[in-house]
């Protein structure tokens, strides 16, 4: 029996060698890859030993690390968790970190090169290394109004300072409490994650202001209008506005909202078409202008299929493929494959408000060292200039008309002129429409631009989203007298 025994002994040696080779592959060859995998929460756990910097809104900490007496020395807390969840994200042992906690992780954790000198000093002074603070551009009044407006619905609000691009508000619903995902109890964290994502309902972790894009519906008519004005149209130019429009080379009939009539004469001024959001007029106008003009103007406004960082990653907006004139007609009223993020909608409004100059949106105002010295400050930056100041003025005039006497009347503010545009986007026949509003105020000297999106709101942009925008703008001005 000894011959087979020796062979078995050698086989065992071979099997164990296989084990050792495999362990070498994991712990040496793949070590770096596994260690730095973002789903590996071990490195995160190491960071818990250091005081992480705060995320600040208007002097108040919305994410702050507090000392604990358990093994992870600091606990991440979010004093107003659900209100700012879309901006802060969470900082989780189990699920890693998201939103600003992720995008500004280097600063918050103290790894950022701008904190380098201080870290060297820490080494010599024996001071515990700490992370830097991130001061956001958010306005608490705007944020609160936005979240209050979205109460009970699925949607998002973005508010911008049109002249700088500073993000004044960024809200997304449904929301969640990041504190409960950032505790030190993995069991409780998993239970809460199951609670918020285990249902059929919308995922609260998604920031609907920037991570998803949606069909903009009639908001897109502003871009078509801009293209028309660029081509020499004026707000007074009379355009065809039939009751129904047969799309070229098809038998598909395009009608207006609720099959309503735009004008008994089957034509109307461009400003009136925008005011009542006439579908047939804009579909025909888009077809008349041609794909290139529409596509170029959309890209000039930022619907160019490119991602953006604010520093959170923003999903691309774009017009999609336009295979035919029929498709172009549908594209021109914001249907078909046109997609916009809510931030992009706010940027379109802000561009018109800012004399045609689009500012780069940003969420981080300044970065501070742990001793509160400012180590970096964001300078407003011009991103694009899709239209001239003159065309911007003409568009503003048309948008004022929308709010004054058109579909956006619910956005009116006392003692102030508001400019805006509503959007009601069809999704599928069996699903309620998306409701949009974008606008800015005061129309003559804009200080805030807002976009509101309510997913499957079921009403129109005018009656669902415009009132939310109005409340957000009102809250902004209330704080400033």
Partner 1 sequence: MPGPVTDPRGTPASDTPTRRGTEAVLLGFAVLITVVAQVIVDLTVTGSLRPEMAGFSVWISALWVVAHLVVRRWAAYADPLLLPSVALLVGLGLTVIHRLDLAAEQVGSTITREDAPVQLIWATLGVALFVALLIVVRDHRTLSRFAYTLALLGIVLLALPAVLPASISEVNGAKIWIRVAGFSIQPGEFAKICLVVFFAAYLVDKRDVLALASKKVAGLELPRGRDLGPVLLAWILSILVLVFERDLGSSLLLFGIFVVMLYIATERASWLFIGLLLFAGGALIAYQAFGHVRARVDTWLDPFAYIDGAGYQLVQSLFGLGTGGLFGAGLGGGRPDQVPVAKSDFIASAVGEELGLFGLVAVIVVYLILVERGLRTSLVVRDAFGKLLAAGLAFAIAWQVFVVLGGVTGLLPLTGLTTPFLAYGGSSLVANFVLVALLVRISDAARRPVAPHATPVRLGDAPTEVVTP
DSSP 3-34: HHHHHHHHHHHHHHHHHHHHHHIIIIISHHHH
Chain-centre distance for alpha carbon 475 = 21
Q: Does 185 bind partner 1 (CB under 8 A)?
A: yes
Q: How far is the CB of 174 from partner 1 (least distance, A)?
A: 20
Upper half-sphere CA count for residue 310 (Cβ side, 13 Å): 31
Q: Which of 4, 59, 232, 414 binds partner 1 (CB under 8 A)?
A: 4
Compute how many other C-beta atoms are within 10 angstroms of the C-beta atom of residue 429: 5
Q: How far is the CB of 289 from partner 1 (least distance, A)?
A: 47
Binding mask 52-91 toward partner 1 (x if CB under 8 A, else -) reads ------------------xxx-------------------
Query: Do strands 244-246 and 253-255 pair parallel, antiparallel, or not at all (unpaired)?
Result: antiparallel
Q: How far is the CB of 94 from partner 1 (least distance, A)?
A: 8
Q: Which of 114, 186, 251, 265 binds partner 1 (CB under 8 A)?
A: 186
Stretch of 22-30, 132-140, 392-400, 425-433 lying at the interface with partner 1 (CB under 8 A): 22-30
Total H helices, total E strands in the chain: 18, 21
167, 380 contact by CB (below 8 A): no
Q: Does 5 bind partner 1 (CB under 8 A)?
A: yes
Q: How far is the CB of 48 from partner 1 (least distance, A)?
A: 10
The DSSP symbol for 432 reads P
Looking at 274-387, which runs of residues are DSSP E strands? 308-309, 313-314, 358-359, 364-368, 374-377, 382-384
The C-alpha atoms of residue 170 and residue 399 are separated, in whole angstroms, by 23
Stretch of 17-25, 171-179, 364-372, 442-450 lying at the interface with partner 1 (CB under 8 A): 17-25
Q: Please report, as residue ranges, which positions from 30 to 59 form the binding site for partner 1 (by CB under 8 A).
A: 30-35, 37, 39-43, 45
Catalytic residues: 218
Q: Does 416 bind partner 1 (CB under 8 A)?
A: no
Give whole-number Cα distances, 437 to 54, 217, 299, 349, 466, in Å: 33, 10, 20, 10, 5
Q: Does 184 bind partner 1 (CB under 8 A)?
A: yes
Stretch of 12-20, 82-90, 103-111, 408-416 lying at the interface with partner 1 (CB under 8 A): 12-20
**383 contacts: CB under 8 Å, gap ≥ 6:** 165, 302, 358, 359, 360
Q: How far is the CB of 188 from partner 1 (least distance, A)?
A: 8
Stretch of 3-11, 59-67, 320-328, 445-453 lying at the interface with partner 1 (CB under 8 A): 3-11
166, 362 contact by CB (below 8 A): yes
Stretch of 27-35, 158-166, 266-274, 378-386 lying at the interface with partner 1 (CB under 8 A): 27-35
Nearer to partner 1, 185 or 478 (CB): 185
Q: Which of 26, 120, 389, 416 binds partner 1 (CB under 8 A)?
A: 26
Nearer to partner 1, 4 or 414 (CB): 4
Q: How far is the CB of 313 from partner 1 (least distance, A)?
A: 21
Q: Which of 59, 67, 152, 187 binds partner 1 (CB under 8 A)?
A: 187
Nearer to partner 1, 32 or 379 (CB): 32
Q: Does 123 bind partner 1 (CB under 8 A)?
A: no
Task: Residue 87: name the closest of 26, 191, 202, 167 by CA.
Answer: 167
Q: Which of 22, 60, 234, 260 binds partner 1 (CB under 8 A)?
A: 22
- What are the residues facing 318 on neighbouring strands? 339
Structure tokens at 319: 């017009």
Q: Does 429 bind partner 1 (CB under 8 A)?
A: no
The C-alpha atoms of residue 235 and residue 37 are separated, in whole angstroms, by 55
Helix, strand, or coil (residue 59): coil
Nearer to partner 1, 92 or 173 (CB): 92
Give whole-number Cα distances, 46 to 49, 93, 131, 189, 417, in Å: 6, 10, 13, 18, 53
Q: How far is the CB of 192 from partner 1 (least distance, A)?
A: 14
Nearer to partner 1, 75 or 349 (CB): 75
Q: How far is the CB of 2 from partner 1 (least distance, A)?
A: 6
Compute how many other C-beta atoms are within 10 angstroms of the C-beta atom of residue 245: 21
Q: Does 195 bind partner 1 (CB under 8 A)?
A: no
Give whole-number Cα distances, 212 to 22, 97, 150, 311, 383, in Å: 41, 19, 17, 16, 21
Question: Rule CB under 8 A: which residues touch partner 1?
Answer: 1-6, 8-9, 12-13, 15-16, 18-20, 22-24, 26-28, 30-35, 37, 39-43, 45, 70-72, 184-187
């Amino acid at each position: 029996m000894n011959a087979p025994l020796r062979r078995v002994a050698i086989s065992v040696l071979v099997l164990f060698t296989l084990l050792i080779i495999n362990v070498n592959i994991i712990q040496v060859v793949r070590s770096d890859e596994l260690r730095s995998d973002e789903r590996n929460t071990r490195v995160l756990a190491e960071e818990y030993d250091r005081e992480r910097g705060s995320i600040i809104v208007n002097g108040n900490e919305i994410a702050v690390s507090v000392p604990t007496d358990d093994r992870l020395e600091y606990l991440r807390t979010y004093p107003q968790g659900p209100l700012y969840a879309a901006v802060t994200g969470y900082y989780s042992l189990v699920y890693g970190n998201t939103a600003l906690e992720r995008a500004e992780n280097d600063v918050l954790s103290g790894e950022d090169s701008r904190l380098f000198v201080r870290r060297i000093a820490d080494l010599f002074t024996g001071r515990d290394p700490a992370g830097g603070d991130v001061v956001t551009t958010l306005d608490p009044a705007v944020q609160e109004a936005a979240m209050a407006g979205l109460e009970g619905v699925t949607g998002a609000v973005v508010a911008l300072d049109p002249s700088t691009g500073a993000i004044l508000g960024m809200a997304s619903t449904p929301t969640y409490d990041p504190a409960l995902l950032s505790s030190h109890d993995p069991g409780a964290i998993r239970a809460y994650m199951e609670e918020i994502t285990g249902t059929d309902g919308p995922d609260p972790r998604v920031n609907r202001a920037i991570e998803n894009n949606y069909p903009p519906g009639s908001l897109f008519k502003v871009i078509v209008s801009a293209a028309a004005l660029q081509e020499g149209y004026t707000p007074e130019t009379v355009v065809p506005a039939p009751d129904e429009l047969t799309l070229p080379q098809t038998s598909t009939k395009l009608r207006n909202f609720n099959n309503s009539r735009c004008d008994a004469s089957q034509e109307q001024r461009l400003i009136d078409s925008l005011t009542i959001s006439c579908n047939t007029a804009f579909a025909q106008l888009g077809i008349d202008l041609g794909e290139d003009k529409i596509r170029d103007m959309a890209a000039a406004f930022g619907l160019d299929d490119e991602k953006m960082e604010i520093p959170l990653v923003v999903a691309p907006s774009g017009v999609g493929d336009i295979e035919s004139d029929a498709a172009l007609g549908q594209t021109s009223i914001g249907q078909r494959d046109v997609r916009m993020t809510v931030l992009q909608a706010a940027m379109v409004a802000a561009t018109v408000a800012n004399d045609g100059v689009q500012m780069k949106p940003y969420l981080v105002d300044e970065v501070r060292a742990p001793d509160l010295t400012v180590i970096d400050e964001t300078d407003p930056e011009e991103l694009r200039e899709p239209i001239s100041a003159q065309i911007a003025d003409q568009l503003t005039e048309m948008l004022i008309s929308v709010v004054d006497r058109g579909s956006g009347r619910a956005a009116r503010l006392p003692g102030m002129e508001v400019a805006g545009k509503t959007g009601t986007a069809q999704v599928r026949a069996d699903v309620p429409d998306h409701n949009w509003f974008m606008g800015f105020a005061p129309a003559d000297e804009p200080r805030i631009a807002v976009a509101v999106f309510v997913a499957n709101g079921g009403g129109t942009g005018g009656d669902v989203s415009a009132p939310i925008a109005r409340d957000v703008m009102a809250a902004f001005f209330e704080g400033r007298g």
